[in-house]
Amino acid sequence: MPATRAALVGALALAAAALTATFGGLVTLDTATREWLIGRRSPDLTAVMIALSTIGSSVVLVPLALGVAVWLGVGRHRREASLVVGTTLGAWLLGPLLKHAVERARPEDAHLVLVNSWAYPSGHSLTSTAVLGVLSVVVSIRLTARTARLATVAAGVILVVLVGISRIYLGVHWPTDVLAGWLIGAGWLAGCLLVYEALERRRLVGE
């Protein structure tokens, strides 16, 4: 498992790096996908997409994760609380750092929500992938039924995908911004889980 997790972290990092190096050549695909989604706008769907975008924002996810961490800490699950805090705060900081490093401009038109930062990677996609991912892990390990664990993880994945789509639909991101956010968020999550599992193995050996 550790070797598999490490390989996954490396693969995600390489994929994100490759996308970062080549997104300039994907303008046609970016534009076509964005225009297709924007062409499907309707008042009801826009309301749903704004709600999804809000759910996937740091304003919602960071306090949610910290609240879960406090609950875990009170319940004497301090190591899991540290995992949630570390994964969340790392993702929250990583997004702005990468945005300033790449400095990709957002699409210029058809914005349905206000934005004031660089486009790449999508902070909503990155943060929701990492935070909802770690929360799904924390919840699923407390479930005994396999179907319940799979349903928890599936629900987290679906919500992450919908958050990313909402950012394109609302006109504030290119599809490759969202894809990069997913890749980087998944890589950060996998890395945090790798470290957590290594520390747990060391603790068990020490006991």
Query: DSSP letters along 128-195, please?
Result: HHHHHHHHHHHHHTT--SHHHHHHHHHHHHHHHHHHHHHHHHTTS--HHHHHHHHHHHHHHHHHHHHH
Counting beta carbons within 10 angstroms of the beta carbon of residue 47, is it exposed (0 to 12), middle (13 to 18) or buried (19 or more)? exposed
Q: What is the DSSP letter of 56?
A: T
Known catalytic residue: 124? yes
- For residue 43, cis peptide bond before it (omega within 30 degrees of 0): no
From 77, 100, 111, 124, active-site residue: 124
Q: What is the 3-state secondary structure (H, E, C) of 15-52?
A: HHHHHHHHHHHHHHHHHHHHHHHHCCCCHHHHHHHHHH
First vs last C-alpha separation in the chain: 21
Handedness of CA 94, 96, 102, 108 (dihedral sign): positive
Which of 77, 100, 111, 173 is the catalytic position? 173
User: Looking at the annotation, which residues are catalytic?
Assistant: 124, 173
